[in-house]
Amino acid sequence: MGRSPCCDENGLKKGPWTTEEDQLLVDYIDKHGHGSWRALPKLAGLNRCGKSCRLRWTNYLRPDIKRGKFSEEEENTILHLHSILGNKWSAIATHLSGRTDNEIKNFWNTHLKKKLIQMGYDPMTHRPRTDLFASLPNIIALANLLQHHPLEDHAVRLQVEAAQLAKIQYLQFLFQSSNNYNPMPPTTSSNTTQYYNNNNTLGDLGAFNFTDFVKENSASAPSLNLSNLESQSLFSNENNSGSQLLHNPDHNTQQVPFNFQTNLNNNDISDDINCHKFNFDHENNSPSSPLNNTNILPSPHSSSHLLPLTEISISNNQGDSSSNSTNNGADQGASSYWPELFFEEHFMHDIS
């Protein structure tokens, strides 16, 4: 496939558009429509490349563009859709009338991403961040707190939690580095849980004996006992509500966060997305998203402001052009099966 020639040639103008150029473009499109973008600049009397004209029109001059601050509702919608679609800005934009993909992308990068990070959540997976470096600001804040309010109960408790977090993080690191961790579903036929490397073979540790691990650690972590784990269905195929795993022998399906699992054979997934249960899972006490607890997400029944999600495809995106640079959030959510369960809130509380 050849690349379209770039506009550097012929000394075409680049950079910010003037009002005169805008007017020329608007006038031309009003009269003739855009037709071929490549041919448009000459016909419209613009010293720009067609691509530049198209961008200017679609991102700025189009009459149906809504400008100005994003409303709270729009913000919620973006968060909601991003948790499902990842960085599919154009797909997200189709559900926010008047907003362009570029605008949404900018808004995400400058506002929403930071917001999630500040709340301690990974903006790509929309899940609590479990890496030590992500927790570092909290630990530092804790240290400062202790300096100013030494030995307060709350501060002491936080300190203990921070120390435990560091320990757990170290454990996780050991497992991952030993196994070249790959989130194949753990086998449930016995208490021996096997972990696989990228070739779907056992990693260096071979079969990791979860039972032994639990026994060894249950003294310091009360929730780490098998009956607890079983009752919480962590290792059951049923009711994996906190982080649902899509079991599929061909390994092409992905784990989708927030209990979201769409029927891949169904083109219209709007019902799945709009009506899916995104709320905090009280039964298992396992929040799977920052949005669950904080009501940032619109409730499934109040999402009437969402346009139908009829064009969204959550198929295997391996061949998608957008996959060349960064994974979308849903993809990344699939990359950590049990460690994330392991670090669920009840675990963290008990282990501290």
Partner DNA sequence: AACCAAGTCAACCGCTTACTA
Partner DNA sequence: TTAGTAAGCGGTTGACTTGGT
Main-chain phi, psi angles of 93, to 5 degrees: -65, -30
Residue 197 near residue 168, CB atoms below 8 Å: no
CB 44 within 8 A of CB 25: yes
User: Per CB under 7 A, does 82 bind DNA?
Assistant: no
Question: Is residue 47 part of the contact set for DNA (CB under 7 A)?
Answer: no
What tokens were used for 316? 């295997």
Burial of residue 53 (CB within 10 Å: 0-12, 13-18, 19+) is: buried
Rounded to the nearest whole angstrom, what is the least distance from the CB of residue 240 to DNA in the complex?
Answer: 28
CB nearer to DNA: give 109 or 293.
109
* From candidates 9, 10, 11, 15, binder to DNA by CB under 7 A: 15
CB 281 within 8 A of CB 287: yes
Rule CB under 7 A: say whether 177 interacts with DNA: no
CA 132/CA 111 separation, integer angstroms: 24
By the rule CB under 7 A, 90 interacts with DNA = yes
Among positions 71, 106, 144, 295, the unique one binding DNA when judged by CB under 7 A: 106
Nearer to DNA, 10 or 324 (CB): 324
Measured CA distances, 271 to 82, 261, 300, 328 (Å): 17, 11, 10, 22
> What are the b/e assignments for 245-263, b being 16+ CB within 10 Å?
bbeeeeeebbbbbbbbbbe
Q: Which residues of 102-133 are buried (b: 16+ CB within 10 A; e: fewer)?
A: ebbbebbeeebeeebeeeebbbbbbbbbbebe
Which among 6-14, 74-82, 144-152, 235-243 is the span making contact with DNA, rule CB under 7 A?
6-14
Confirm or reject binding of residue 111 to DNA (CB under 7 A).
yes
d(CA 44, CA 25): 6
- Residue closer to DNA, measured from CB, 6 or 151: 6
- The nearest distance, CB 87 to DNA, in angstroms, is 4
User: Within 300-329, which residues bind DNA (CB under 7 A)?
Assistant: 319-322, 324-326
Interaction of residue 118 with DNA, rule CB under 7 A? no
Closer Cβ to DNA, 15 or 150, answer by number: 15
Does 107 bind DNA (CB under 7 A)? Our answer is: yes
Residue closer to DNA, measured from CB, 1 or 219: 1
Work out whether 19 is an interface residue with DNA (CB under 7 A): no
Binding of DNA at residue 115 (CB under 7 A)?
A: no
The Cα 39–Cα 30 span in angstroms is 16
96 vs 162, beta carbon nearer DNA: 96
* List of residues contacting DNA (CB under 7 A): 1-8, 13-17, 35-39, 48, 50-52, 54-56, 58-60, 87-91, 101-103, 105-107, 109-111, 114, 319-322, 324-326
